[in-house]
Chains A and B, each alone.
Chain A
């Protein structure tokens, strides 16, 4: 077991420099440390000016996503011991604009997420007096996987289509649209299908499949997108048929 490990961390201080560079730090190696622990060690002991986002330390909040040796990962779940002997490269999530050091702007994702209307929409709300909208375990099972998304944006950083076509609405937003489409209480699948059939919607996806591989919550956004494409294609063929729904 090495006594220490080197981290090469992206620094970008827009008031001082015009582009990011890597700065190396030597941190003690501990078997149970993850990259986020090492970053916190740097912040507390070596360089207080290093900026990065984090919160829960247990893969729930989705704040600490970064590129670790070129792969998008939650740094709270990326053990130093998996990337020995180092140096371990820690960079901000790729394809997103860098605000400072390891902090990226997530405004684009937030905007896209809102666009797919990820909430339950009813044609007509039933009165409160009639009680809740009940759901069976089987109905829950239909969408549960897609509801596990924590908005960490690792899937965006894994998607070359998003890098090349920044307008692409992207994996997580589409998976969350599908989550509501499959919810028995929701009645707006049609509306979302139209939003997702626009130019920057699901048809931009060419099924690279990396979004699913990097997802820390096994959401399978690639699956969600292909399933929606199937729905879209079937819908289009129905439109072509003379007796189809117009």
Chain B
């Protein structure tokens, strides 16, 4: 480009495609991505359910019995079922992506991706076992 040339960022003759609202159906990884983003809704819902449960617990046995009765209704059973699937998807996809963000070097060599992801899974299993142990003991 010669010094006298004016660069025109919005040239009228250049053609710009509009991005379709359905861009995320263009290929499978976009669909997975949008599903992964959607999992945050269910993570949020579960957090709200947990808060509701805690509130019922604080209010006494009657309120807690009411909470449990609510949870047995088909709507909440379905919500929890779908929620579980989305949260598993959330957990597994993020654990698998963790090595991308975490570069750990030991003795100058990069720790392989499967080690980082594996440590996440091990921590997940250990914490789940610990929680299960606490719950089943009582």
Contact = CB atoms under 8 A, between A and B. Distances in A.
Contacts of A227: 100-103
A222 interface: yes
Contacts of A15: 13
A177 B13 CA distance: 33
Contact of A230 (B19, B26, B101): B101
Interface residues of A, number: 34
Given A160-B23, A208-B33, A209-B33, A229 B101 contact: yes
A108 interface: yes
Contacts, number: 69
A99 B15 CA distance: 7
Interface string B102-131: 110000100000000000000000000000
B11 A105 contact: yes
Size bracket, chain B contacts: 20 to 34
Interface stretch (A29-37, A57-65, A90-98): A90-98
B76 interface: no
Contacts of A212: 100
A163 B23 contact: yes
B92 to A, nearest CB: 14
Interface in B18-44: 19, 23-24, 26-27, 29-30, 33, 37
B137 interface: no
